[in-house]
């Protein structure tokens, strides 16, 4: 592996981004695709690029045929990332449960009294305004965003930023009435029905959750449900 390729892989790992090594199994020529850039000597046409994109989208390595050659696509997937906007009680439980489920959690709230390391041990804390924080977070298809502040001034800038990204999951706490009122405000800002349909709200699977802990469980369950739709029913007799 060339030094430039290794450095690009290390940069992707540091930035918590997916990347893919693409190797021609006969010639040994390879290419690393990371952060939208290519590093290596392997020629990659549109068809193979589509296969790499599909592998990255599913987070699964695969062996493919491309122009008569056998090519192995090795996908390196960092931990899925979750950005929580709002540092309330549900957020505390969600941070813990999502962390146990393997998510790398960031809590975003400019209110420093609420968003503190003491209340959110193990999470990254960001006190910037939510849209600025999410831009710095670098949302991608490996990311989820959940807004839980109950404050439109915090939640809606975050949702607007999330909807402009490839985040695999966007969720918002609030009653159906609250969701409809938010939807109308965001439509007035130029978002389409298709854009707003990406928001899971009321957030979480409908399991009858009442307590903050139960709501957090329902949110993590829904994120996993969206993340792996092809696995539904897997392992059941």
Please tell me the predicted confidence (pLDDT) of residue 14.
65
Please tell me the predicted confidence (pLDDT) of residue 232.
59
Domain with CATH 3.40.50.720 in the chain: 81-230
The yes-or-no verdict on residue 12 having pLDDT over 80 is no
- The span from the CA of 81 to the CA of 104, in Å, is 5
Q: For residue 30, what pLDDT band results from cuts at 50, 70 and 90?
A: confident
Please tell me the predicted confidence (pLDDT) of residue 227.
87
The yes-or-no verdict on residue 23 having pLDDT over 50 is yes
Select from 39, 44, 42, 30 the least CA-distant residue to 12: 39
- The span from the CA of 99 to the CA of 210, in Å, is 21
Using an 8 Å Cβ cutoff, are 170 and 144 in contact?
yes
Q: For residue 60, what pLDDT band results from cuts at 50, 70 and 90?
A: confident
- The span from the CA of 69 to the CA of 44, in Å, is 12
Q: What is the CA radius of gyration of the chain?
A: 20
Omega within 30 of 0 (cis) for the link into 202: yes
The yes-or-no verdict on residue 147 having pLDDT over 50 is yes
Tens of pLDDT, residues 102-131: 999 999 999 999 999 999 999 999 999 999
Please tell me the predicted confidence (pLDDT) of residue 178.
94
Least confident of 35-39, 159-163, 211-215: 35-39
pTM: 0.77
Please tell me the predicted confidence (pLDDT) of residue 67.
84
Please tell me the predicted confidence (pLDDT) of residue 152.
94
- Whole-angstrom CA distances from 68 to 24, 29, 196 are 11, 15, 43
Please tell me the predicted confidence (pLDDT) of residue 141.
85
Q: For residue 3, what pLDDT band results from cuts at 50, 70 and 90?
A: low
Instruction: Taking residues 1-29, report their average pLDDT.
Output: 74
Please tell me the predicted confidence (pLDDT) of residue 26.
85
Please tell me the predicted confidence (pLDDT) of residue 149.
94
CATH superfamily of 81-230: NAD(P)-binding Rossmann-like Domain (3.40.50.720)
Instruction: Taking residues 14-22, report their average pLDDT.
Output: 77
Please tell me the predicted confidence (pLDDT) of residue 42.
76
Question: Beta strand pairing status for 143-147 and 199-200?
Answer: unpaired
The yes-or-no verdict on residue 5 having pLDDT over 70 is no
Mean of per-residue pLDDT scores for the chain: 88
Please tell me the predicted confidence (pLDDT) of residue 237.
44
């Amino acid at each position: 592996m060339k030094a430039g390729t290794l450095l690009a892989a290390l940069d992707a790992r540091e930035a918590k981004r997916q990347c893919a090594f693409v190797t021609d199994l006969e010639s040994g020529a390879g290419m690393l695709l990371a952060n939208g850039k290519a590093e290596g000597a392997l020629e990659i046409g549109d068809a193979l690029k589509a296969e790499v994109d599909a592998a990255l989208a599913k987070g699964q390595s695969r062996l493919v045929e491309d122009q008569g050659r056998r090519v192995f696509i090795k996908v390196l997937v960092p931990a899925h990332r979750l950005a929580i906007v709002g540092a309330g009680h549900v957020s505390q439980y969600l941070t813990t449960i999502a962390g146990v489920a393997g998510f790398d959690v960031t809590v975003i709230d400019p209110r420093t009294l609420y968003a503190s390391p003491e209340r959110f041990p193990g999470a990254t804390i960001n006190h910037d305004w939510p849209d600025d924080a999410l831009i710095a977070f670098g949302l991608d298809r490996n990311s989820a965003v959940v807004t839980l502040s109950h404050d439109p001034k915090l939640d809606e800038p975050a949702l607007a930023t999330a909807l402009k990204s490839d985040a695999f999951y966007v969720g918002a706490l609030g009653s159906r009435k609250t969701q409809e009122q938010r939807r109308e405000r965001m439509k007035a800002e130029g978002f389409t029905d298709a854009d707003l349909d990406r928001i899971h709200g009321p957030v979480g699977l409908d399991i009858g959750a009442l307590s903050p802990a139960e709501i957090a469980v329902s949110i993590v369950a829904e994120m996993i449900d969206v993340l792996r739709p092809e696995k539904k029913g897997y392992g059941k007799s």
